[in-house]
Structure 1
Amino acid sequence: MAIIPATWDMYDLIQGFLQAPAYHLIFEALLMVLIAKLFFSKSYKPEKIRLSEKEKEVLVKEWKPEPLAPDVPDDHPALQAMEKYCVDGAVGKTVNINGKDCINMATLDFLGFIGNKEIEEEAIKALNKYGVGSCGPRGFYGTMDVHLDLEDRLAQFMQTEEAILYSYGFVTIASAIPAYSKRGDILFADEGIGFAAQKGCVASRSTVKWFRHNDMEHLEELLKEQEVEDKKNPKKAKVTRKFFVIEGIYANYGDICPLPAIMELKRKYKVRIFLEESMSFGVLGATGRGVTEHFGVSIDDVEMVVASLENSMASIGGFCCGTKFIIDHQRLSGMGYCFSASQPPMVAVAASKAMELMQNNPVMLVKLRENCERVHKAIKDIEGVEVRGSPLSPVIHLQLSEPAADRDLDMKTLLMVQDKAISQGVAITPARYLDNEEHLLPQPSIRLSVSSQLSEEEIDKSMDIIKAVFRSVLSGNTAGHGGGGDSAEAHS
């Protein structure tokens, strides 16, 4: 019997239905049932509950909101320091604490630019012209001519194509790392990097492989292990980017990174470099360009150099420098650049003037190195104290040679050293950390900071006082008297 043309569509539909797999038919049937259920089901309307005024009052009284921040113990060292010490006036090579003038061995003002009259005059002119702040990010009316001038000066000084300014030193490296390293990439990070760089690694969501501090053998072991993994999955390896995260001078240890050895591993294993120079910019090298100049390494071989302007330049903010392509990418994806108000114009002018003074007076860099070496030589012979840091580093850590099992006991001992030193006219401070958030919490220490403004007599006097104070406190703790308190048991 012939099939009428008008019924061809129905015939094809029936044939297709009969030839379809069973699981396909079951799936379509379930979909039809679900659609029918959604179509005929009633929409949910929550019942309106009306409370009386009395019931509302009871609920409000019973409500206990969660605290916005965890409770801080009353004996927290930071709170005690705030209550105990108050600084009056400018912080230069001397600082007035509770009415007493002290030689300043605590502030990271390596070139002595705090209180510099020429810098202050330029900053005041900028304040009168631009006002206090910009009140907007760089992309939204926050860019002013002084920001562009400082970026040009930094790029020329560092001998790179471009530089980019951030308004806060901490967020510079914390924003720069996640701007390039993403999920799936690999960061080979030194365990000794500072907290800002650690936060940058976390924000990137990359895989972080930590190598022991300045241990190039351990770093190469990790690189070889990664090389084996890459051979197992070459397709993934082809799109995985790898970076080193290192510091020029490590703030937590005061030593210098072995950059030439790192450059060899970079070329051998094809890894890019994030170099944090907050403690080495304006310190190392004949002109203060940092660790690349110190070791004679071309800055073009380092993908990105990051530094704070809050140490040697005595200003606020930070910068990254590198090729135009790298810097332009941060203008679109650097979180701290895109979403933070730009530097106050007066501090950008202050940083520019500080750089000008440093370039015109290279003798201050020579003086800083001489002071660093003098401090290292004078402080090394204290029984019970280990000195950490390179002789060329203005950051020096004094740690107890035999730390107690309880970290708090060591901190109490160091706070006693601080108190006695201040009472005798030398301002020093223990290194501070966020204990529960550090990747590798450093041992408690007194952190000394060296300035180019200190005279030989001031350095010798300060070192004599610090050594005498350490001997007094440690001998008192060991003997179980002399105000050692809880620390006496730790060191006896």
Structure 2
Amino acid sequence: MDTTWELYEMFQAFLKAPSYHLALEAFLMVWVLWLIFHKSYKPERLELTEKEKEELIAEWKPEPLVPDSSKNHYALKPRVVSGALGKKITVNGTECLNMGTHNYLGLIDSPEIKEAAVKGLRKYGVGSCGPRGFYGTVDVHLDLEAQLAEFMGVEEAILYSYGFSCMPSAIPAYAKRGDVIFCDEGVSFPIQKGLSASRSQIVFFKHNNVEDLERLLLEQDDLDKKNPKKAKVTRRFLVIEGLYMNYGDVCPLIELLELKKRFKVRLFIDESCSFGVLGKNGRGVTEHFNIPVEDVDLISACLDYAIGSYGGFCCGSSYVVDHQRLSGLGYCFSASLPPLQSIVASVAIDVLKSKPELVEKLQKNARFAHKELQRLTKLLVCGDEVSPVKHLRLAADRAEAQQLLEQIVDHMQEEGVALTVARYIDEEEHLVPPPSIRLIVSAILDEEEISSVVSLLEKNSDTLL
């Protein structure tokens, strides 16, 4: 009875409905049915004749798998090293004094490190075979993290299996879309990858130019005042290197810290080239300027250079560093550092702590080399005197300078000195530095060897330039 009454009411409502309303509903119903049963458009397939197919195949030119390279391209003339990369190395069969690799403290040839490496290899094998969160954490990883934190005077450190992945993982772990990152335009390629991965707004300031950074920070401050609601949720970061790989100069940390406190930005420093190099004990740029390490929000460094191992680490307060254990992609998803390399790094840091004279000798050699290099009249010496990384540049067109510097390096190798022309990924670098010979000073060199290298450079540059 109820169902009949409901049908009756619906019929009465249908009779009372406006005619235009019924017409619209009928139209929509017909349209839906048409869309359901209408066959989709199928374009007519064009069949080619055999002649047309052959003509198209004959006209097609595949793109090369690799770009064309000149016969003189450096990649076609590799320098093959035989043996360990110590003070002396054998390059293409020629024994050379090593001035081309970043073995700042000469620890690669350390007998105690070699002995520890052999013991570690026998106990742990060659790899970890898993990320830190998936059975990849070994006791020596935790020991090394604690050791690094204690050495740097911070609360906590986090270990990465690849030095290149430190900054590319750390930066996007904190900076996100909508944030602003102020960065020195001279930073190395790994940092640039981290900036790109963050998807933040990147603002580059001129290399080591505090005035230019202040100008950009003031501009951002004006924008924040115009839109306080957006400014409230926008985080600001400052990313620099302690000692710049591509220039060999030290950052003006004291002035940068003044701007950090004034404009309330978070400061990240990559100390890959300054860890184990600057400061009385090799603790980096903060010790070099006698700055409390707590004033820096995050410090990163790779273990490839001064320490003679590989991998890298970030360190700072526990509140900051611990965030990377779930947000640092290189930490979460990469196989952890081989335990063998953790042991090597740990013993190397013990050597660094027990032998501060290594750092003193390195800085003395760097200053002596800088003074000796001033004898060069055809090459411009770039880099701070305390830096073990020196760049020798030439005032000429980029292509011409590159070719001439390659010739100098080739002649130096023939005469028993291993140097290298700095390499960059031109298509991907934010700012490609001028061509240069990169000369690396180490603590195991003596003054006589450094002087002889400079004399050979002077002779070859005067002959070829």
Residue by residue, what CA displacement relative to the aligned partner does 1:326-380 show, whole Å, maximum 9, x if unpaired?
2221111111111211111111110111111000000000000000000000001
Q: 1:219 aligns with which of 196, 213, 216?
A: 213
- What is the alpha-carbon distance in structure 2 between the residues aligned to residue 29 and residue 373 of structure 1? 91
Are positions 1:71 and 2:62 aligned together? no
- What is the alpha-carbon distance in structure 2 between the residues aligned to residue 276 and residue 182 of structure 1? 19
Q: 1:322 to 1:379 in 2, by over 3 A?
A: same
The amino acid that maps onto 2:387 is: S
* CA drift at 1:137: 1.2
- What is the alpha-carbon distance in structure 2 between the residues aligned to residue 332 and residue 442 of structure 1? 35
The amino acid that maps onto 2:361 is: K
Alignment match, 2:447:
456
Residue by residue, what CA displacement relative to the aligned partner does 1:170-197 show, whole Å, maximum 9, x if unpaired?
1111111111111111111101000110
Are positions 1:352 and 2:343 aligned together? no
Alignment match, 2:404:
413
> What is the TM-score when the length of structure 2 is the normalising length?
0.89
Alignment match, 2:385:
391
Are positions 1:233 and 2:224 aligned together? no
Alignment match, 2:47:
none
Alignment match, 1:270:
264
- What is the alpha-carbon distance in structure 2 between the residues aligned to residue 428 and residue 78 of structure 1? 14
Q: 1:31 to 1:263 in 2, by over 3 A?
A: farther
Are positions 1:181 and 2:175 aligned together? yes
- What is the alpha-carbon distance in structure 1 between the residues aligned to residue 27 and residue 375 of structure 2? 83
* CA drift at 1:408: 2.1
The amino acid that maps onto 2:257 is: M
- What is the alpha-carbon distance in structure 1 between the residues aligned to residue 240 and residue 362 of structure 2? 23
Structure 2 unaligned runs (5+)? 45-49
Residues 153-192 of structure 1 mapped to structure 2, 5 A cutoff: 153-192=147-186
Q: 1:226 to 1:473 in 2, by over 3 A?
A: same
The amino acid that maps onto 1:319 is: F
Aligned partner of residue 134 in structure 1, secondary structure: coil
Alignment match, 1:478:
none
Q: 2:415 aligns with which of 409, 412, 424?
A: 424
- What is the alpha-carbon distance in structure 1 between the residues aligned to residue 177 and residue 142 of structure 2? 32
Are positions 1:292 and 2:289 aligned together? no
- What is the alpha-carbon distance in structure 2 between the residues aligned to residue 13 and residue 368 of structure 1? 96
Residues 185-200 of structure 1 mapped to structure 2, 5 A cutoff: 185-200=179-194
- What is the alpha-carbon distance in structure 2 between the residues aligned to residue 158 and residue 98 of structure 1? 40
Residues 80-479 of structure 1 mapped to structure 2, 5 A cutoff: 80-82=76-78, 85-400=79-394, 402-404=395-397, 407-474=398-465
* CA drift at 1:384: 2.3
- What is the alpha-carbon distance in structure 2 between the residues aligned to residue 256 and residue 31 of structure 1? 73
What RMSD in Å do the two structures reach over aligned CA positions?
Answer: 3.2
- What is the alpha-carbon distance in structure 2 between the residues aligned to residue 10 and residue 241 of structure 1? 64
The amino acid that maps onto 1:430 is: V
Residue by residue, what CA displacement relative to the aligned partner does 1:143-176 show, whole Å, maximum 9, x if unpaired?
1111111111111111111111111111111111
- What is the alpha-carbon distance in structure 2 between the residues aligned to residue 14 and residue 202 of structure 1? 66
Q: 1:314 to 1:11 in 2, by over 3 A?
A: farther
Count of residues in correspondence between the two structures = 455
Q: 1:139 to 1:37 in 2, by over 3 A?
A: farther
Q: 1:72 to 1:326 in 2, by over 3 A?
A: farther
Alignment match, 1:489:
none
Q: Give every structure 1 segment of 4 or more consecutive aligned residues whose post-TM-superposition deviation is greater than 3 Å.
A: 5-15, 28-47, 61-70, 74-78
Aligned partner of residue 323 in structure 2, secondary structure: helix
- What is the alpha-carbon distance in structure 2 between the residues aligned to residue 265 and residue 447 of structure 1? 32
* CA drift at 1:78: 3.5
The amino acid that maps onto 1:446 is: I
> What is the TM-score when the length of structure 1 is the normalising length?
0.85
The amino acid that maps onto 2:148 is: L
Greater shift in the superposed pair: 447-456 or 135-144: 135-144
